[in-house]
Amino acid sequence: GAGVSQSPSNKVTEKGKDVELRCDPISGHTALYWYRQSLGQGLEFLIYFQGNSAPDKSGLPSDRFSAERTGGSVSTLTIQRTQQEDSAVYLCASSEKGQGVITGELFFGEGSRLTVL
Amino acid sequence: AQTVTQSQPEMSVQEAETVTLSCTYDTSESNYYLFWYKQPPSRQMILVIRQEAYKQQNATENRFSVNFQKAAKSFSLKISDSQLGDTAMYFCAFMNGQAAGNKLTFGGGTRVLVKP
C-alpha cells in the first residue's frame, strides 16, 4: 500500500484477554518499529525488526508482550493477559534501509488505540 | 542511553507569527541524527525536518528551521509564519548514527496551538 497500515484502529477489551495488533509496512521497507504512546505522552520504543529478525526488543515492558514479523512484511504485536496499564496507542513505523546508509525517516501508521477495561 | 528532553509541554502562537520549540539531548556519541516530527490530531506522525550531527549548517524546510548547537546538545525548532494547520504535537527525536536502522528516542512532546 501507499502508507503504513495498522489494524484495528480501535480496540476495547476486558482485563485478562489477549489482543493482537497488526502492522502492514510500506512495501519494500525492511525495517519495522513498534512504539507505544500513552495519553498525552511521548513515544516509548518497544521493538525493532530488520527483516524477520528482531535485533532490538529491549523496550518490551514484560513477557506478556511479544511480536513477530513474517515474510519480511506484516508484523503482529501480541499482548497477553491485558492489564489496564496497557491502555495506549500502539504505533507502527517502517523505514527503508539502504546499503549501510541510514535514511533516518520513519513512516508511521495512524496507530491502534487499545483500551483495557 | 540517550535521553531527549522537551521542556515546554504546551505553547500557543498567533497565526502568522513565529514560535520556537526547545529540545535538549544527552549522548556520548559523536555521530547521530536529530529529527522533529509532527503529530496532528489524526495521530499520524509526520517528519518535519532532520539534521545530521556532522553538518554545521542548520537544516531548513520551508517555514521550518532548526538551531543546532552541538556543544550545548540543543536542537530547537522554529516555525515561521505559523498557520492553523501547524496545530499539533511536536516531538524531538534522536537516532544513533553508529548502528544503521537503530531506533528513534523521542522527547515528551510540545503541544502547539496556533490561534487565528
Q: Lowest mean pLDDT: which of A4-8, A103-107, A108-112, B32-36?
A: A103-107
Distance of CA B9 to the CA centre of its chain: 13
Nearest CA in chain B to A39: B108
Pairing type for strands A10-13 and A112-116 reads parallel
Question: Per the CB < 8 Å rule, is B105 touching A95?
Answer: no
Question: Per the CB < 8 Å rule, is B50 touching A104?
Answer: yes
Angle at A31 between CA A53 and CA B27, to 5 degrees: 100
pLDDT digit string, tens, across residues A5-50: 999 999 999 999 999 999 999 998 888 999 999 987 789 999 999 8
Residue whose C-alpha is closest to residue B9's, from B85, B89, B72: B89
Query: Which grid coordinates are listed for A94?
Result: 517502517
Write out chain A residues lying below 8 Å of B42, CB-based.
110
Nearest CA in chain A to B97: A102
Note the pLDDT of residue A104: 63
Reported as a pLDDT band with limits 50, 70 and 90, residue A100 is very low
| Residue B35 sits at the chain A interface (C-beta within 8 Å) | yes
- Are A110 and A2 in contact by the 8 Å Cβ rule? The answer is no
Write out chain A residues lying below 8 Å of B35, CB-based.
104-105
| Residue A105 sits at the chain B interface (C-beta within 8 Å) | yes
- Cα dihedral A51, A57, A59, A64 in deg (nearest 10): 110
Q: Lowest mean pLDDT: which of B13-27, B50-64, B88-102?
A: B88-102
